Each structure stands twice: as structure tokens, then as C-alpha cells.
Structure 1
Amino acid sequence: MFQSSIIISFFFLLGMHLGYGQSAEINLKFKYDNKANPTGIDVTYTLSEDFSNNTERLLFLYDKMYPLQRSSDTISNLRVTDRLGAFPLKLQTNDKSNNSDYMSWSALRAQSGPLTVSYYVPLAPRIALKSGPVKDLQAAGDGLSGAIGSFLLFPDHSKKITINLHWMLNNGQEAVCSQGFGRNISFQTSIVDLFETQFLAGSLYSHASSKANMGFSMYGLGQEVNSELNASADWYEKAYKTIRGSLNGSPTSPFYYFFRSYDGNPMSSGRATNGSFLLYLPKQMSMNDEDTKVLSAHEMIHVFVSDLVDDDGLTDWYVEGIADYLSVKLLYDAHLINEKKYLEVVNGQVAEYYTNKLRSTPNKEIPKVMWSGTNAWTTPYTRGSMYFADLEGKLKQHKAKVTVLSLINTMDSMKKRGEKIDPDSWANLLKKDAGAWAVADYESMLAGNVIIPVDNAFGEKFKRKPVKARFFDLGFEYPKSIKVGEQIKNLRTNSLAAKAGLKEGDIINSAVDLIPLYRSYSKLLTIEVKRNGKVIPITYAPRSEVASAYKWTTIR
């Protein structure tokens, strides 16, 4: 039997000794239903007297969890006090005062003495309102997981603060976060990085380096997969070492692979941050599934590859495209996946690109369409992957002295030296190390011109061939994903969905992971719907008009 709560304390005590005067002490109490099921978290923290100056008015930030969006996981019972008593805050009704990724509360007067904040945050819904990166507050097994920003309302602050992190747990339970494993750890962080810090707390499964907080460690919470973890952990560590070595990562810096499992969406997804990433593993999936392994490699690459700086947020083609491209290439080159799986994943990405109606959208228009419809969000991912594969093949054809991997490493070296890396940096590097043709191809990709990679784009053993294909199309405009309880709306009467028997107003009875269908030219979709009290399965090809397309095969 374990107790009805877990108390987690963040003591920010060593600031003066380590060079940062501002400090805070945060206590987190996990609430449980019937002493077994976590339901939410009580938060209490105290800011030191010198956290702000005598005239500054604090601005408190709360992550909106975009694009997941908050619903029930909002703040209640908010109470703020300092030496003068109640410390009034006002919720801002617009985002002009700060980054639109956050809700904000502004203080109505300056801080006087230590400031204490307390409130409650319940768990996020198991099925998020929208698809998005894994960072929401979720229960898994007997504990909780997510990013600290999933529950933390905290003042904006320009300087780093020193954190001494102390976890008070029951016997047999442990805690780990992006900053380290153990009940007592100390680190310095910015407010942004604090919000991004990922954590697991509860009865953990673990595969850890023999040296504490060094090298590769793997931790899980939820699903009974201890035997699977033991069987698969060596593979994941080999993949990590391959990726780290290829991307010039430090062998002594800690790297944390976190996974959590519960009854949620049918689609696995992950999110990388500094030194770690967190994977959501549906209960019907396994750590040994090759698709889980490729997804994990994608997220590991994010930890080592820096994104480009762009005020308009138009660089997913770079950071997501290179993760898609290298995740399968590096695993194949290291013999961590076989040729059959390599071609399966490559051709899945290829199909996802060629069957996407938005494949010709200019890069500058991507933010307007990325969340507009089914598989729209994949547009920059697959475009970037195709672009990098084509670039690799052409670099070989031009007998260039560089590869895609070496170009990416050059960009990261520039970042480590303190140089700004942006789209112009990439264009200038291409011009210098590859030639004018590479710059022209880059500009063509940004314009949205359809990419047809050269024969050797995915290796000298493989060749390109045209195939028959049609654009992916569910046949209705809403919902944009297949979730339980959603209603079929805007069904097109001439669509294959309508011809198969789907009707306007049908209620979806079971969720469907659409990604395998995006990555296929021919797979059929089966949707179970409720109509007049009956459950009816509808099977059809989610396709519309003809699309030009290709695939890669082994040269015999």
C-alpha cells in the first residue's frame, strides 16, 4: 500500500553560493483518488525576497500547452501572499504583454518580502483536444509525468536561478527529470528551460548508466513492460551512441530517455528537450516495435541538432526534416535496422509526401495551413526529409567533399561558437561548400516545388520508380483526426467515404491511428461509427484525385 499523496519539493537554496541571488522553494503534492489513482497536483512555492527589485511588477506565465490546448487542466484555488498580505494578480485577456504561448497574470504592485504562491492543477485529458508534442500532465502507473510547464505558474525572469531539487517519495518510488536522477539534485536554469524540464515520478522502470547522471539512461512509468525494457534497452543505447557520435555529442553529458504508458491516443508521439526526450507509448504498442525505435531515433536527433533562428517560425523543414531523414539513415548505416525496414520507412515518408495535397504549399505559407486538415502537419516534415535525401544524392553526383551530415554538423559548430544560425546561414554554407546548384535547389524547395529526389538519394543500392497514387483524403472536413465521440461533418457526397456508407452526423465509436495510412499508397481505412444506436464499420480507401508519386526499390 502506498500513501495517498506524493510530495515533491523543489528547494532553490544555493543561489548565493553558486552566483545567483534569486531563489524559490516549490512543494508539489500529488493528489490521489482512492489512494491509488493520481488525479492532479497541489503546488506551493515561495520566492525569495530578492526575486524582484522594489519597483518591478512580476508577470506570471502559464504555458498554454499549444497545440494540445488546455481544457480541464487549468489553475484553481490560486492564492498569493507576501509580507503585506494578499498579493493581487490580474489575468491578462490578451497576449500583447508577453509571448502568445503563455497565459499571463500581472502583479498589481511590487513584491514586498518573500512571496508565496499556491494553487491546484488537475490532470490533462487523456485524449488531447488537438495533436501535439508530449508535455501535458498525465498519470501513468502510480505516478505522474510530463513537463514542469504542464503545471507551473511562475514569474517571467531574465536571469538564471539555482535549483536544489528534492523529491520526497514513498518506499520503492523514485524520480527523474531532464536535469538528473535522484531525490536531491542541484542545477541552474532559465525560466524557459525550467518549463521545458521533463519528469517522471513514481514506481519507475529503469536502465541506467553505471555512472550516476552520465551517459545514457532509460526510465519508464506506467505499463508493465519491465521485461521489454530490459530486452530493448541495449538496442536503444546503441542507437543513442550512434546518433551522438554522428552528431558530435558529448559522451559524458547525461542523456535521459523517458517513456510513459496509459490508455490515451492510439498514436505514439514524443518530444525532445535539452538532454532528454519523453515518449508516449500506447498500451497496445511495444518498446520492441521497429516503428517505436525509429520514432525514438527521430527524437534523439532533436536533442543534438539545433534549430535555425527564424522570426516567422518557418524552419520545421530543417529541424524536423533532418530528424526524419537521419533517423532512418543512421540506423541503417549502423546495421540497427535491416534493408527491408529501411526501405519500408523511406517509402513511408515518400508516400506521406506525395499523397499530401499541401505538398506544393510555399514554405512561407506553412504556418497558415499546418494545423488546417488531416496530415497537413506532416508537410514540412516530409518536405524536409525529401529535400535532404535529394541533396545527399546530388552531393555524391557532384563529387562534393561534404555530406548532409557534415553540413548539419558545421551548422551546429557555428551555434556552439555563439554564431547565429538561420536560413541565410544554410544558404551561405551551401554556396560555399556545394555550389550554386545547391542554393537553387534550396530556393526551389522553399517555393514549394515538388521534389523528385535523384535515384541514389537513399543509397547507391536503390533506385527510383514511378507508382500509381492518389492524394490522401478522408472524404470529410471534420474531424481532422479519428477520435471517439467526434461527429462526421461536411461529408462530400461524391467521396469514397460517402459511397462506402459513411453518413453526415455519424459518431465515431473507436479511435484510429492515421499515420500508417498517410505512409501508404493503398491501405484501407476502417471507421467504426454509431448510428441509431448501432455500431457500423465503414471501410474505404481514403483517397481522391490522382497524384504523381514514386518509391525506391533495391537494384537487382
Structure 2
Amino acid sequence: MASSEPQSLSLRIKPQFDHNGEAHSLGFSLALECPSLTAGQSLCCLNTKMGNGTTQCYTKDQIHVSDSDGFLDIEIHDKGRMRSYLVNRPTTGNVVMNFVAHPVKVDSKTPIGGRYELRRDQGGLQCMGLSTIPIPWDVSLTTKARYRMEIEWDLSDAPQGTRAVSSFGEGRVQRVHPPFDLWRMVFTVGPLKSYPLDAPRGGHFGFYWFGKPPTSITALPPVCEELFAKMSNFFRDKASEENPYRIFVRRATPARGFGGSGGIRSFVLEYDDAIDTISQDEIFTLLAHEMVHNWPLMAADSKEDDLDLVAWYNEGVADYYAAVLPYRISHRTKACFRKHLNAKFTEYYTNPCRLVSNRQAEDKAWTSPNLQTVPYTRGLMYFCKLDAQIRRASNGCKSVDELVLSLLEKLRKYEPFGIREWKDMLVDVLGAKALEDFQTMNKGELIRLPADAFAPDYEVVRVDERELDFGFDMGSFSKRVVSGLNLTSEAAKAGLEDGDEIIKNTFVWQCQQNYERKMRMTIRRGHVEHKIEYWPRAEKMVESWRLHETKS
């Protein structure tokens, strides 16, 4: 084999089923072609923690490794959130790793997090590789290593009607990809249903679910297919059988959650029993955001000079194009566009954490829903302002699109695509002043848009609003017990008390984005349940802005 050819990586997955025919675990066999490692080198690695989510985090005894010489002993080395599996002797020939993944146990108190972990869902299983599969990776997103990947399912013990699908299709698939893409893939197996009804092994689009989702979910596939086709054209990446896209639905119950997690050519859409409280526009906004994640991406680098802080880009660019692209391609009306952006403006300007730095938001993101939204809305505002600046400087000939598409092209060519490259492009388009704006954004200074940022159809107008205030420690939403109650807050006035167990509550993001939205809670105090309702806003007025349609 010529040295320039990629090595092979073979992943075989065998689901195990209980006496009721429900999948209860996944057996993996991962074979690497001649890695030629020396003693002490890393064979593969896996995250030990992903936000509020759980990874498999296999111990030494839970992975069996062998090569041409037989059993291969390994050692574990943990650094930060990464676990590396090191070989204790030089490897010979192909190396095979065998391990079994078990679904995470969840209940109504399980914190809402990324949709990565292995979960049960109505007789089936679903996960992303990020939480489940160790990969041969040198902890560098920009590694140029490529593998001839083969993914194959063993359904020999599966009940009739079982289907197995990954991000690139049903059953056996082959692709050439960097190892990191294995983490970005979705894997699901069980009594799957799909759109199209007989979604083929190939095909350019697929939508998959278990059980009987509500109509708000089952009505989505045609909308998603059309939206994705138009977005693909914008990002110069037409879908085809060789370049498909798939959406995987996950029911969170008995846990809670509504949201999505983007993968490679795919994303996971999660819903729970509160789906009926979510409007179709809110669902559409989430879909658009997750679809955008399929394209623009900025690579994280070292902490030196904050080169690792890229969430403002990766989440902000998704929020930005989720707002502007559907409007541009006539998939949303002017009224929907204005409503969408005004909701985001409210979320940004009334957030009590709006002035924290990107570093603070990154380090403590999972301690508060208000911190989690900072990179999303701050990134959105940054792109709105940058777009206005570029249009003005170029007399309307250029926009922020050119920068985003240029960085995306670097990714496709396997060139560096991080903050350094972004800064270079900023200087080329706007000069050194653009770097000052970037640094103030990174530090957390408030972003104000020019009045004509969305001219000629809209004007940005100042309309101050009350600051968001749920009235207690934000960690209470994850812990499901109220603590740190502010006795002068609207929550306290409505009757909430420290120690109350939270049974149900309005989604936090709905109150963050909808200024008038009430927080409705069902709490348990002792053995008695109570209904609590209040407006989660403080007396404090803060600077805020809104889009107003200009008079013709």
C-alpha cells in the first residue's frame, strides 16, 4: 500500500437486546490498520466530561486491546477533560479494541445538557460518537490524518424490524474522513421510523424517530428537507447520495429537554412532554440553528491569547444565519424575521451576565443558563454589527458572508481555520480597528448596533427593558431544588421558598427570549404540590434595542 493512502478504520457495532426485544447496550469492535505505535504512545482518546452530559469514560478493564502479537496492555492518562489510552509495548500489525457501551440512566432530575450521551428511547438506543467511541486523535482538531472508515452493524441477534442508521446512512457505510468526524457522527438502532417512509440506504435526506411523536414533530420532515436544500446552496455544499443529511429525533422523557446538538451532516433534535408549550416558530428556529452548524466552524487552539475561545463564533454564527438565511431565501416572512431578531435582542440585552468576558462564560457555562446563552447572543450581535460595518466600508458590495465562507473554505481544504485566520481576514477587510472591536467583544463590552444595521427595511431603536431575574440561584434549575431565593424578587412575592422541589417549569430560554413570558412552576413543598406563576423580571431597567420596520 502506498504511504499516501489513508489507513483503514473499521467500526463494527453489535446491539444487545433484552427479553422484550429492546436494545440495552452496544458492543463495539474498532480495528485500526497498522498504527505502528511505540511504548507509551496514545492509541486513542475519549472525553471524560461534556458539559452536563456523561461519557462512557471506559476504564482500563473495560477495553480489551489486541494486535498481531496477541493481548496488548494499556494504561490510562487523564489530562483536563481528555482520557488517553497508552500502549505499554510497541504494536504489531492491526490493532483491535473491543468495548461495550451502556445507556446513561436518567430521570426527571437529570440536568439538561448536550445530546451526545447514549440514551434509551422507546425500544432503541441513540448516541453520538463524542461520548461513546475512543478515536485515534492527537488532540488537534486540525490534524490532517485521514482514515478509510467502514461502519458496519451486526443485527444477527436483533428482533425483526430493527434498523440501524448513522449520520452517513443505513447499514454499512464507507467514507474517508479525519478521526474527529467519528465523534461528530450520530448512531441509532432499534424500531426506527423514517421520512421518507422507506428512507433508502443512500438518499440525500433522512429524518428518523422512535415511537409516536406529536404532530409538531412529525410535520417537520418536509420543512427540514426544503430548508436544508436552500441552506446547502448558500454554503456551496449541495446535498447528494454521497453527501447526505440526516436528522435524528430523541424523546428525553423521563428526563427533560428541548434542543439540538449538531453533528457531521446530521443533528439530534430532542423533545419532552412539554413540547406542546413550544410554538412552531420556536421549533423552526432551533432547526435552522442546528442546520447551520453543519457548515461554519472555527477551530479551537491553545489558551494563549484566548485562541481556545471559539463558542462566540460557532454558536453566534449559527444564531446569525438561523435568523437571516430563512428570511433571505423567502422561507420566513418579514414579520417572523423581525420577531426572531427582537427575541434575540431581548435575550442579549436583558441577560444579567451580558457583560461577563468570553473566558468567564466558557469556564462557568454549565453553572447557569444565563451564562450558557452568552456566546450565542453575543456572537449574533457581533455578526450583525460586523456585517453592517463591512457593507458600509464596501458601499454595499461585500458583507460578513465573504468572511464566513472564506473560513469555511479553509476548513474544507484542511488549512488552519482558527482565530488567527479570522483576525487576518478582519484586518484585510476593515483594517486594525476591527481587531479593537473583536477584543472588546471578547472582554464582554456591550455591543450596540448602528441604527441602519438592517436598512432600508428596518431601523434599530432603543427600547429599554427590565433585566431578567428568576429570583433565585440559577443552578436550582439543574439541581431541581430552589436555593438562594431573593426575598424581594417576583419569585418570592409569588410564594416560592428555598427548599422547594421543582417538578415542572417553563423552559428558561422561553423567558429569556420572550419579554412578557411568565415563569410557571409546579413545586413540591413537603408532600404537597403547589403552582407558582410570576414575571421573571427585576425592577432594574437596562439598555435594550429593537428592530422597527421603517415607514415607506
Over 3 Å counting, the alpha-carbon distance change for 1:400 and 1:209 in structure 2 is: farther
Report the alpha carbon displacement of residue 19 of structure 1 after superposing the two structures with TM: 3.8
Report the alpha carbon displacement of residue 112 of structure 1 after superposing the two structures with TM: 6.0
2:126 to 145, 162, 178: 145
Contact 1:400-1:434 within 8 A present in 2 as well: no
1:353 to 348, 359, 364: 348
Letter matched to residue 40 of structure 1: S
Partner in structure 2 of residue 423 of structure 1: 419
Partner in structure 1 of residue 189 of structure 2: 201
1:136 aligns with 2:131: no
Q: Which deviates further from its counterpart, 429-438 or 372-381?
A: 429-438
Partner in structure 2 of residue 378 of structure 1: 373
Aligned partner of residue 510 in structure 1, secondary structure: strand
1:175 to 140, 164, 171: 164
Q: Distance in 2 between matches of 1:416 and 1:50?
A: 27
2:282 to 285, 288, 291: 291
Contact 1:177-1:198 within 8 A present in 2 as well: yes
2:244 to 250, 254, 259: 254
Alignment of 1:14-29 (within 5 A): 19-20=5-6, 23-24=9-10, 26-29=12-15
Q: Distance in 2 between matches of 1:25 and 1:442?
A: 42
Letter matched to residue 546 of structure 1: M
Contact 1:77-1:119 within 8 A present in 2 as well: no
Over 3 Å counting, the alpha-carbon distance change for 1:476 and 1:71 in structure 2 is: farther
Report the alpha carbon displacement of residue 516 of structure 1 after superposing the two structures with TM: 0.4
Partner in structure 1 of residue 25 of structure 2: 40
Query: Cα deviation per residue 1:202-235 (whole Å; 9 max; x = unaligned)?
Result: 2333235999676741222224149767743222
Query: Cα deviation per residue 1:114-150 (whole Å; 9 max; x = unaligned)?
Result: 6664444321233585443211111223321111343
Q: Distance in 2 between matches of 1:186 and 1:25?
A: 10
1:522 aligns with 2:512: no
Contact 1:325-1:388 within 8 A present in 2 as well: yes
1:448 aligns with 2:444: yes
Alignment of 1:382-531 (within 5 A): 382-398=377-393, 399-435=395-431, 438-477=434-473, 479-481=475-477, 486-531=480-525
- TM-score after normalising by structure 1: 0.84
Over 3 Å counting, the alpha-carbon distance change for 1:289 and 1:77 in structure 2 is: farther
Q: Distance in 2 between matches of 1:522 and 1:429?
A: 40
Q: Which deviates further from its counterpart, 468-477 or 439-448?
A: 439-448
Partner in structure 2 of residue 121 of structure 1: 101
Report the alpha carbon displacement of residue 151 of structure 1 after superposing the two structures with TM: 2.8
Letter matched to residue 206 of structure 2: M
Q: Distance in 2 between matches of 1:346 and 1:216?
A: 31
% same residue: 20
Contact 2:317-2:379 within 8 A present in 1 as well: yes
Contact 2:459-2:548 within 8 A present in 1 as well: yes
Contact 1:491-1:503 within 8 A present in 2 as well: yes
Q: Distance in 2 between matches of 1:205 and 1:421?
A: 38
Query: Cα deviation per residue 1:466-498 (whole Å; 9 max; x = unaligned)?
Result: 334222222222535256xx2222223333322
1:552 to 525, 538, 547: 547
Q: Distance in 2 between matches of 1:154 and 1:403?
A: 38
**Unmatched 5+ stretches in structure 1:** 1-14
Aligned partner of residue 224 in structure 2, secondary structure: helix
2:530 to 536, 545, 548: 536
Q: Distance in 2 between matches of 1:382 and 1:472?
A: 15
Report the alpha carbon displacement of residue 53 of structure 1 after superposing the two structures with TM: 4.3
1:333 aligns with 2:328: yes
Letter matched to residue 290 of structure 1: D
Contact 1:393-1:459 within 8 A present in 2 as well: no
Over 3 Å counting, the alpha-carbon distance change for 1:437 and 1:223 in structure 2 is: farther
Aligned partner of residue 243 in structure 1, secondary structure: helix
Aligned partner of residue 304 in structure 1, secondary structure: coil
2:48 to 64, 84, 89: 64
Report the alpha carbon displacement of residue 91 of structure 1 after superposing the two structures with TM: 3.9
Report the alpha carbon displacement of residue 417 of structure 1 after superposing the two structures with TM: 4.2
Q: Distance in 1 between matches of 2:135 and 2:429?
A: 45
Q: Distance in 1 between matches of 2:100 and 2:411?
A: 39
Contact 2:458-2:550 within 8 A present in 1 as well: yes
Letter matched to residue 152 of structure 1: I
1:31 aligns with 2:20: no
Q: Distance in 1 between matches of 2:366 and 2:323?
A: 25
Contact 2:128-2:185 within 8 A present in 1 as well: yes
Contact 1:209-1:215 within 8 A present in 2 as well: no
Over 3 Å counting, the alpha-carbon distance change for 1:148 and 1:438 in structure 2 is: closer
Aligned partner of residue 476 in structure 1, secondary structure: coil
Aligned partner of residue 29 in structure 1, secondary structure: strand
Over 3 Å counting, the alpha-carbon distance change for 1:36 and 1:263 in structure 2 is: farther
Aligned partner of residue 543 in structure 2, secondary structure: strand
Q: Distance in 2 between matches of 1:429 and 1:154?
A: 33
Report the alpha carbon displacement of residue 240 of structure 1 after superposing the two structures with TM: 0.9
Contact 1:258-1:277 within 8 A present in 2 as well: yes
Aligned partner of residue 402 in structure 2, secondary structure: helix
Letter matched to residue 451 of structure 2: D
Q: Distance in 1 between matches of 2:42 and 2:496?
A: 54
Aligned partner of residue 45 in structure 2, secondary structure: strand
Count of residue pairs the alignment pairs up: 532
Aligned partner of residue 492 in structure 1, secondary structure: coil
Partner in structure 1 of residue 253 of structure 2: 263
Letter matched to residue 39 of structure 1: H
Letter matched to residue 63 of structure 1: N
Query: Cα deviation per residue 1:390-413 (whole Å; 9 max; x = unaligned)?
Result: 233344444242112222112323
Report the alpha carbon displacement of residue 47 of structure 1 after superposing the two structures with TM: 3.9
Q: Which deviates further from its counterpart, 542-551 or 49-58?
A: 49-58
Contact 1:209-1:216 within 8 A present in 2 as well: no
1:101 to 65, 68, 81: 81
Q: Which deviates further from its counterpart, 498-507 or 211-220?
A: 211-220
Letter matched to residue 520 of structure 2: T
Q: Which deviates further from its counterpart, 293-302 or 370-379?
A: 370-379
